[in-house]
Amino acid sequence: MKVLITGAAGQLGRALVQELAHRDWEVVVTDLAEMNITDWDAVWRTLADHRPHAVINAAAATRVDDLEADPDLAFKVNALGPRHLAVACRRLGLKLLHISTDYVFDGAKTAPYVEWDETRPQSVYGWSKWLGEKKVREQCPDHFLVRTAWLYGLPGPNFITAILGRARQGLALKVVDDQRGTPTSALALAPQLLALAETEAFGTYHATCQGEATWYEFARLILERAGLEAEVRPCKTGEFPRPARRPANSVLENRLLQLEGLDLMPFWQEAFHRFWDLHGEQL
């Protein structure tokens, strides 16, 4: 199987490349320098030249607070870019696996979100990812739309690097304790995505690690594993205002993966410990 990865320099892209190194697949690695997904000509030329069996789109604009002031960037990268990929994949007969987010939901539901729950984005980032989903569905029938949440990996920056940075400076930490989600390791997500790409079970999926936590609970585990003693106290979202509104509930249930018998995601604590064992010294 031949797969092309976009956004290969990012956290998920690197995890995919690392996972594929252990498989007998041909891999085409692209990032902004090799193929800007917002450039239709570049997308068409690259996909037509390489003719992979599947494209995994790990490219995205994800600095959610910055995007509130730069919606054009959000919609170009997160909506028009996926549309270009979807059109090219349809014309060439390729599978497209596109990554989306919990931010397409408003976070008001008290139970975990399933794939068919109504979307209601609350931020520029959320709306841009929602539109990206819509364009992929419209333009490429052979698609996998995979929503994930609270993703972390190398090289960062991410929540783990932020917590470690402040703790190592001896700074007190206030961490939100009224937002719930599931910390999801890119190392755990990568094999799940490849397992989907091998099938023709096209559609929309949730893929996060199992279980749930608050940001405060996640921060406590990070500090414990790093052996750092730091003052950390829980706070409410209102005490830590940000330009982009966060969903209070980001817990996604991998319902359709489970129904398909394809759910490979471990519990979030197990995935974090594996990530730390492999990469803790680099953080």
Would the pTM of this model clear 0.75, i.e. be above it? yes
Give the tens place of pLDDT for each residue, 116-145. Answer: 999 999 999 999 999 999 999 999 999 999
| CA 199-202-204 angle, 5° bins | 125
17-22 contacts: CB < 8 A, separation 24 or more? 18/187, 18/190, 19/187, 19/190, 19/191, 19/194, 20/194
Which member of 113, 125, 205, 216 is catalytic? 125
Give the tens place of pLDDT for each residue, 41-80. Answer: 999 999 999 999 999 999 999 999 999 999 999 999 999 9
- The answer to whether 128 touches 71, Cβ cutoff 8 Å, is yes
Is the per-residue pLDDT at 156 higher than 90? no
What pLDDT was estimated at residue 34?
96
Is the per-residue pLDDT at 150 higher than 90? yes
3-state secondary structure of 236: coil
What pLDDT was estimated at residue 196?
98
Is the per-residue pLDDT at 20 higher than 90? yes
Asked about 113 being catalytic, the answer comes back as: no
The residues facing 65 across adjacent strands are: none
Which residues lie closer than 8 Å to 69 by C-beta, 6 or more apart?
243
**Backbone phi, then psi, for 252, in 5-degree steps?**
-110, 135
Cis peptide before 52 (omega within 30 of 0): no
Q: Tell me the C-alpha distance between 209 and 182, whole Å.
A: 6
Q: Which CATH superfamily is domain 2-152+184-209+251-266 in?
A: NAD(P)-binding Rossmann-like Domain (3.40.50.720)
Q: Half-sphere exposure of 143 toward its Cβ, with a 13 Å CA cutoff?
A: 26
3-state secondary structure of 208: coil
What pLDDT was estimated at residue 243?
96
* Domain parsing of the chain, residue ranges: 2-152+184-209+251-266
- The answer to whether 99 touches 77, Cβ cutoff 8 Å, is no
Work out the mean pLDDT of the chain and round it to a whole number: 97
Give the tens place of pLDDT for each residue, 179-214. Answer: 999 999 999 999 999 999 999 999 999 999 999 999
